[in-house]
C-alpha cells in the first residue's frame, strides 16, 4: 500500500498569518493538489485552533440546499429568504465550538451554503478560511467574498524546492529530478512517487494511482463518487469495515467526525467519470436501501435522498417527490425543484407537480417552457382554489417572461369572472395593480392597490403586491411622505420575495429625491448582501446600488456593477433587465465610453416595452446622455431629456419628472429651472426646494 503523505510547513503559512492580522479571513486559491487543505490546517494550528469547524463541499452535496453544512445548521422552512439565511447563521454560530471556520472546496457549494458563508464573513464573529480551485466557476456569493473585500486572497502555489526536499526526505527519497518533473505540485509529486507512472497530466497520475488501489478501496471510492459523504457506519455496511480502514490508511478516504470523504475531490471525480451508468444506478439503489432504515436528520438530508432516488431502482412515492420539489422551491433551489417536479410529472399528471415545475422554470427565466407546462391544464376541471394557483403564475409569466402584457391582462380579467371568493378576487386585483404600474399607469395602479389594502380580507400575497406597487408609484409620483408606511406593510407580508426590490427602489428613489444620498447608499447596500440567496436577487440589488452611485457622481462604480448585472437580468424577462441597461447606458456615457454606451442603449431599446413602460423616463434620460457623447450633440441631448421629463409629467410620475428636468439642467438646459419651479407646487423635495 502507498505510504501516507507527510505534511511539511508551507512558506505561505507566514503570509497567511500576516493577512489574518488585518482581515476577517482568507480565501486560499490554487490548483488541484497544491495543498490548500493542508495549508488551512497548518494556519489553524498556528492560530492555536485545535478543533476548528470544518466544512467540506462535495459535488453531490452541491445539488442540495445547505448540503455542505448538513447537521451543522438547523434549517426551518420560513417564507422570507432573509429569515432563512439568518436562522441558519444563528444556528451555526450557536453550535460552533471554535472561532475558526474552514470551508474546503467552496467552488462546490450550493447557493444557500455559499450565501451562508458570505453572511458569516459579513457577520464577522468568526474567522473564515475558504479554499477554492483556481480557475473554477464560483458561486456568486463565494466570488463576492473577495469582490466585496470581506476576505483577503492568498494564491497558493506549488511547493518550492526546499519544501519538496523536506517531503522527499520524510519519504526517504532523494530529490533528483522529481521536483522538476512534477512542477512542485504536492499531489502530483505524491502520486508520481507512489505510481512511478509515465503519465504527465494530473488526471493521468490520479488514474494511475486509482488503478493500483486494492479492489476494496476502489469500491469505497465508488460509493463516495455516488454519494459523498457517507457515515463511516453506513460505508462499512456497504463496502466492508476492512475496506474502509484500508482506504483511510492509504489516504484514499478521509474520516471526518465519523463521516467519510474521498481523500481528494479528484479521486471521486475520476472514479465517477469512468463508471458504468448501470453500476452507478446499482450503487445508488444500495445506498438508498441502507439510508431508508434511518430517520431524516434534517430537511437537507430529506432532499438529498429524494435527489439520489431519481436515478435509482428505488423511486420514492410520487407524493414524497412532489413534496420534496415544493420544499426545494421554497428554499430557492430551482434546478433541484425542476428535476424533482419533472420526475413526478413523468410518473403522474398531477396538478401540484405541474405547478411546482412551472414555477421552477419561470423563475429560471424559461418562460416558454413554463407556459407550455401550464397550458396543458384543463381549467374546467379545477376547483376555485386550483384556478387561482394556476392563473397567478401563468398571468405573471405571460406579462414578464413572455413579454405579452396585453394577453396577461386579458387572461387575468377572464379568470376573475370565474372567481367568487372576495379574498381571491383581491389577490387578482393586486396582481393587476402591479401590471398597471409596470405598464406606466401609476394612477390606475395606485387606485386598484388602495382598494386591496383597505380590505380586511386581503391575504398576504395580495398585500405584498398592492403595498409594494403603491410604494413605488408614490415615490415616482412625488408623494414621498407616503412611501415608508407602504414599504413597511409590504415587507411585513409573509412572502415578499422579489417584491422587496420594488420596495427598495421606492426607498432609494425617495431618499435621493429628499436629499439623503448617504442613507440611500446604505439602503441600497442592504440589497447586495445575499439575503435573497441567489440570482437574480444579487443583480437586482446591484441595480439599486448603481442608481445611487450614478446620482452621487460615481458612474465608474455603477458601470462595474451594471455590466454583469444587466447580463444576468436580460435573461430573466423581468422589467429590471431593461432598467439595468438604461442605467448602464447612462453610466457609460458619463464615462465617455461612446461605443459601449451605444451598444447598451441599443440593448435597452430592444428589450423595452409595455412591461417596462414605467421606466420610459429613464430610457429617455439614458438616450440624452448617449447623445451628449456624440460630437455636437448637446441640443439633441437636451431635447431628449426634455421629452423624458415631459413624458414623466404626462404619465403622472411628477417626482421622476423633477429628476429628469434636473438631468436636463446638467446637460445645459436653461429652461429646466423654470420647469422644476413649476413642479414645486406639487412635489416637495430637495430639487424643488
Residue 72 pLDDT greater than 60, yes or no: yes
- Which residue intervals of the chain bear CATH 3.40.50.300? 12-157
pLDDT score of 92: 84
pLDDT category at 6 given cuts 50, 70, 90 is: low
Residue 197 pLDDT greater than 50, yes or no: no
Sign of the CA dihedral running 300, 303, 308, 312: positive
pLDDT score of 168: 66
Q: Which stretches of 96-214 are DSSP H helices? A: 111-123, 140-147, 161-171, 178-182, 186-195, 202-212
pLDDT score of 1: 44
Residue 213 pLDDT greater than 50, yes or no: yes
Instruction: With residue 260 as reference, give the H or E element that holds it.
Output: strand 259-262
- For the CA atoms of 478, 484, 487, 491, what is the dihedral angle to 10 degrees? 170
Contact 195, 187 (CB under 8 A): no
Is the entire prediction scored with pTM above 0.85? no
Per-chain mean pLDDT for the chain: 89
pLDDT score of 174: 60
- Let me know if domain 12-157 sits in CATH 3.40.50.300: yes
pLDDT score of 494: 65
What's the mean pLDDT in 504-520? 97
pLDDT score of 495: 59
Report the alpha-carbon distance of residue 114 to residue 206 in Å, rounded. 28
Residue 73: name the closest of 52, 56, 55, 90 by CA.
Answer: 90
Output DSSP code: residue 397.
I
pLDDT category at 140 given cuts 50, 70, 90 is: confident
pLDDT score of 516: 96
pLDDT score of 566: 95
pLDDT score of 621: 98
What's the mean pLDDT in 545-569? 95
pLDDT score of 29: 95
Report the alpha-carbon distance of residue 31 to residue 369 in Å, rounded. 39
State percent of the chain over pLDDT 90.
Answer: 63
- Residue of 624 and 498 predicted with greater confidence: 624
- Residue of 288 and 115 predicted with greater confidence: 288
Residue 136: name the closest of 32, 26, 261, 27 by CA.
Answer: 32
Residue 611 pLDDT greater than 60, yes or no: yes
Local structure of 649: helix, strand or coil: helix
pLDDT tens string 463-498: 999 999 999 999 999 999 999 999 999 988 865 567
Amino acid at each position: 500500500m502507498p505510504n501516507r503523505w507527510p505534511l511539511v510547513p508551507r512558506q505561505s503559512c507566514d503570509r497567511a498569518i500576516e493577512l489574518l492580522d488585518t482581515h476577517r479571513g482568507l480565501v486560499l486559491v490554487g490548483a488541484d493538489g497544491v495543498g490548500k487543505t493542508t495549508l488551512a490546517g497548518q494556519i489553524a494550528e498556528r492560530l492555536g485552533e485545535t478543533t476548528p469547524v470544518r466544512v467540506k463541499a462535495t459535488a453531490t452535496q452541491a445539488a442540495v440546499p445547505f448540503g455542505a453544512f448538513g447537521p451543522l445548521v438547523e434549517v426551518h422552512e420560513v417564507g422570507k429568504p432573509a429569515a432563512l439565511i439568518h436562522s441558519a447563521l444563528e444556528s451555526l454560530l450557536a453550535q460552533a465550538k471554535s472561532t475558526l471556520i474552514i470551508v474546503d472546496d467552496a467552488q462546490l457549494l450550493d447557493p444557500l451554503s455559499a450565501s451562508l458563508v458570505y453572511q458569516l464573513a459579513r457577520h464577522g464573529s468568526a474567522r473564515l478560511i475558504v479554499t477554492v480551485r483556481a480557475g473554477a466557476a464560483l458561486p456568486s456569493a463565494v466570488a463576492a467574498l473577495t469582490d466585496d473585500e470581506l476576505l483577503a486572497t492568498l494564491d497558493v502555489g506549488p511547493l518550492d524546492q526546499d519544501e519538496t526536499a523536506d517531503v522527499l526526505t520524510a519519504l526517504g527519497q532523494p530529490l533528483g529530478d522529481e521536483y522538476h518533473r512534477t512542477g512542485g505540485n504536492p499531489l502530483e509529486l505524491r502520486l508520481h512517487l507512489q505510481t512511478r507512472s509515465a503519465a504527465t497530466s494530473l488526471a493521468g497520475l490520479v488514474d494511475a494511482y486509482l488503478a493500483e488501489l486494492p479492489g476494496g478501496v476502489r469500491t469505497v471510492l465508488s460509493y463516495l463518487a455516488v454519494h459523498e459523504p457517507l457515515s463511516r457506519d453506513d460505508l462499512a455496511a456497504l463496502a466492508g469495515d476492512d475496506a474502509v480502514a484500508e482506504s483511510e490508511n492509504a489516504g484514499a478516504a478521509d474520516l471526518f467526525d465519523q463521516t467519510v470523504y474521498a481523500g481528494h475531490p479528484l479521486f471521486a471525480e475520476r472514479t465517477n467519470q469512468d463508471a458504468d451508468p448501470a453500476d452507478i444506478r446499482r450503487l445508488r439503489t444500495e445506498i438508498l436501501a441502507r439510508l431508508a432504515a434511518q430517520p431524516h436528520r434534517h430537511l437537507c438530508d430529506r432532499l438529498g435522498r429524494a435527489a439520489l432516488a431519481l436515478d435509482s431502482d428505488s423511486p420514492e412515492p410520487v407524493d414524497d417527490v412532489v413534496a420534496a420539489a415544493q420544499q426545494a422551491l421554497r428554499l430557492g433551489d430551482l434546478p433541484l425543484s425542476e428535476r424533482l417536479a419533472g420526475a413526478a410529472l413523468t410518473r403522474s399528471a398531477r396538478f401540484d407537480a405541474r405547478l411546482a415545475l412551472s414555477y421552477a422554470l419561470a423563475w429560471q427565466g424559461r418562460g416558454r417552457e413554463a407556459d407550455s407546462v401550464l397550458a396543458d391544464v384543463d381549467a374546467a376541471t379545477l376547483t376555485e382554489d386550483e384556478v387561482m394557483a394556476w392563473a397567478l403564475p401563468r398571468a405573471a409569466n405571460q406579462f414578464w417572461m413572455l413579454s405579452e402584457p396585453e394577453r396577461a391582462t386579458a387572461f387575468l380579467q377572464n379568470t376573475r369572472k370565474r372567481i367568487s371568493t372576495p379574498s381571491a378576487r383581491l389577490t387578482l386585483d393586486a396582481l393587476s395593480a402591479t401590471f398597471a404600474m409596470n405598464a406606466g399607469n401609476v394612477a390606475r395602479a395606485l387606485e386598484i392597490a388602495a382598494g386591496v389594502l383597505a380590505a380586511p380580507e386581503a391575504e398576504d400575497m395580495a398585500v405584498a403586491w398592492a403595498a409594494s406597487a403603491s410604494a413605488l408609484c408614490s415615490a415616482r409620483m412625488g408623494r414621498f411622505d407616503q412611501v415608508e408606511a407602504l414599504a413597511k406593510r409590504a415587507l411585513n407580508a409573509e412572502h415578499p420575495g422579489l417584491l422587496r426590490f420594488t420596495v427598495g427602489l421606492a426607498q432609494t428613489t425617495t431618499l435621493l429625491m429628499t436629499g439623503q444620498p448617504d442613507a440611500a447608499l446604505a439602503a441600497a447596500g442592504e440589497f447586495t448582501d445575499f439575503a435573497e440567496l441567489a440570482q437574480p436577487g444579487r443583480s437586482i440589488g446591484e441595480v439599486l446600488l448603481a442608481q445611487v452611485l450614478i446620482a452621487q457622481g460615481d458612474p465608474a462604480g455603477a458601470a462595474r456593477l451594471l455590466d454583469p448585472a444587466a447580463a444576468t437580468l436580460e435573461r430573466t424577462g423581468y422589467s429590471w433587465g431593461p432598467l439595468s441597461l438604461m442605467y448602464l447606458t447612462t453610466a457609460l456615457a458619463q464615462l465617455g465610453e461612446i461605443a459601449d454606451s451605444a451598444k447598451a442603449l441599443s440593448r435597452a431599446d430592444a428589450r423595452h416595452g409595455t412591461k417596462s413602460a414605467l421606466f420610459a423616463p429613464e430610457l429617455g434620460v439614458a438616450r440624452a446622455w448617449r447623445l451628449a457623447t456624440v460630437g455636437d450633440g448637446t441640443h439633441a441631448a437636451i431635447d431628449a431629456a426634455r421629452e423624458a421629463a415631459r413624458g414623466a409629467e404626462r404619465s403622472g410620475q411628477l417626482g421622476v419628472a423633477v429628476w429628469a428636468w434636473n438631468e436636463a439642467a446638467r446637460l445645459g438646459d436653461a429652461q429646466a429651472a423654470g420647469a422644476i419651479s413649476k413642479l414645486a407646487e406639487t412635489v416637495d423635495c430637495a430639487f424643488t426646494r
